Amino acid sequence: MAGLFYTFRRCSTLILAGASCLMVPVSAGAHEFTAALEQMAHDHIAHIASDPDIVRAVKEQNLQTALLGDAEIEALDQTWRAEVDAVDQPFISEVMGKPGSTLLFNYQEQAEGLFTEMFVTDARGLNVVQSTMTSDYWQGDEDKWQQSFGQGPGAIHISDIEYDDSSQVFQSQVSIPVVDSITNEAIGAITVGVDLWYLE
Q: How many angstroms separate the CA atoms of 190 and 37, rounded?
A: 14
Question: Do residues 40 and 174 touch, judged by C-beta distance below 8 A?
Answer: yes
pTM of the model: 0.85
CATH architecture of 30-199: 2-Layer Sandwich (3.30)
pLDDT digits (tens, 9 = 90+) for 129-183: 999 999 999 999 999 999 999 999 999 999 999 987 756 889 999 999 999 999 9
Number of H helices, E strands in the chain: 8, 6
Check residue 165 and give its pLDDT.
74
Q: How many angstroms separate the CA atoms of 126 and 134, rounded?
A: 11
Q: How many angstroms separate the CA atoms of 182 and 197, rounded?
A: 37
Q: What does the domain layout of the chain look like in residue ranges?
A: 30-199
CA 16 to the chain's CA centroid: 28
Check residue 62 and give its pLDDT.
99
Helix residue ranges per DSSP H, the chain: 2-16, 34-40, 46-49, 52-65, 70-84, 90-96, 99-110, 143-146
Residue 49: how many CB atoms within 10 A of its CB?
Answer: 23
Residue ranges in the chain modelled with pLDDT below 70:
1-31, 166-167
